[in-house]
Amino acid sequence: MTNTGYDRAPGDTAIPPDAKALTSTGVFIYTAGLFLAVVLTATSFWVANTSLLWAPGIALGLAVLAIAQMGVHLVFFLHITTGADNTNNVLALAFGMLIVFVVMAGSLWIMNDMHASMMPPSELMNLQMQH
């Protein structure tokens, strides 16, 4: 459960004794998250624009950096952890990822099917060219 000693409604004048410590900790967490996000973004731009890395490995490197960036945002900004009080958040995130995967897979399947349907068979193309 949550600690109700620190829950405050707008307009509450009662300030807990260590509220300043909680605020500075929150600022530190957001600042650390911002720093990590900026470093990962700058690294991604460097990886995409450098010729020092093995070219086939660049895509994998960018994917790893993107996953790390998502992790930073989830932990530092959205505060999604594996704690007992965050079970619903983790389930909502997993469900959202499932929906995104289904939409992406369905879109790719439909686009592939449309591509196959749009091109006439090569035999028909050869017949048209002979006349």
Q: What are the counts of helices (DSSP H) followed by strands (DSSP E) for the chain?
A: 4, 0
Place of tokens 């048209």: 128
For 40-90, write each residue's pLDDT tens digit.
999 999 999 998 989 899 999 999 999 999 999 988 988 887 777 778 888
42 and 26 in one domain? yes
Tens of pLDDT, residue by residue over 94-103, are 898 999 999 9
**Residue whose tokens read 């600042």:** 31
The answer to whether residues 17 and 60 belong to one domain is yes
Q: 16 and 39: one domain?
A: yes
What pLDDT does residue 9 have?
Answer: 46
pLDDT for 14: 59
Q: Which domain holds residue 109?
A: 85-131
Whose tokens are 């490995």? That residue is 57
Whether the model pTM is above 0.95: no
Concatenating the DSSP letter of every residue in 12-24 gives: -----TTHHHHHH
Residues 13 and 74 in one domain: yes
Percent with pLDDT over 70 in the chain = 74
Residue 122 sits at φ, ψ, to 5 deg, of -65, -30
Domain identity same for 53 and 105: no
Q: Which of 68-77, 104-113, 117-126 has the lowest mean pLDDT?
A: 117-126
Q: Which residue has the higher pLDDT, 42 or 114?
A: 42
CA distances from 6 to 18, 20, 28, 81, 111 (A): 9, 11, 18, 20, 52
Name the domain count of the chain.
Answer: 2
pLDDT at 28 over 50: yes
